[in-house]
Amino acid sequence: MHIRAAGAAFAILLTVQLVAPTKAAGQRASLAQLGWLAGCLEMRSGDRVVEEQRMAARGGSMLGMARTTIRKELGEYELTLIQEKAGNIIFEAHPSSQAIATFTATFAGPDSVVFAAPEHDYPQIVGYRRSGADSVVAWIDGKAGGQATRIEFPYRRVKCPGQEPSEDRATALPLPAGERRR
């Protein structure tokens, strides 16, 4: 997901979510709630393609990457890390040509997650919402130049590159010369 700009009425809802804790009635938010974020997503608009991939949770982390290509040229890219840290879920973004930004989950559930960093220049909010089995809407929101700005990324779920439909990946990998499968 890319750190850029556009939106407004939703800002009120997101401001309310900023004060909502990630722990509902004493429950601790965890990466297990965010399993729906794993996999590959894509958004196409003319010559512009935005792709986002995220690994499943393991070791208290979910690693991700995204890239935007325009007319087959790399426009921008981003590496992301979602991890559990000190009882919180943290989203760390490493966008191309920008400083690292760290956001803390203010809400995490089975179908959506909202991260906030009120001190960040823009965006101050990053969110993801599952929309059916094959779509995810991601957004960035906040104030840019004193104006409320929101951008949405309506992704559709796609097969990850190199992923075989029903083949066990461990048996699909070639073995070094002279080695046999056990």
The residue ranges of the chain whose pLDDT is under 50 are: 1-26, 169-172
Q: What is the pLDDT of residues 28-80, one digit of tens each?
A: 678 989 999 999 999 999 999 999 999 999 999 999 999 999 998 999 999 99
Distance CA 125, CA 134 (A): 24
List the one residue out of 22, 15, 23 whose CA is nearest residue 113.
Answer: 22
**What's this model's pTM, rounded to 2 decimal places?**
0.76
Query: Whole-angstrom Cα distance, residue 44 to residue 103?
Result: 27
User: 77 and 66 in contact (C-beta within 8 Å)?
Assistant: yes
Q: What is the dihedral of CA 159, 155, 79, 161, to 10 degrees?
A: 10
Nearest-5° Cα angle at 60, 19 to 1: 60
Residue 21 has a pLDDT of 41
Q: Which two tokens stand for residue 45?
A: 């608009």
CA distance 113 to 119: 19
pLDDT of residue 176: 58
For residues 56 and 49, what is the distance between their CA atoms, to the nearest angstrom? 23
CA angle at 59 for the pair 54 and 60, rounded to the nearest 5°: 75
Q: What pLDDT does residue 126 have?
A: 98
Strand 88-95 to 101-108 pairing = antiparallel
pLDDT of residue 27: 52
Share of the chain above pLDDT 90, in %: 68
Give all domains of the chain, ordered by start, each with its CATH number: 9-172 (2.40.128.20)
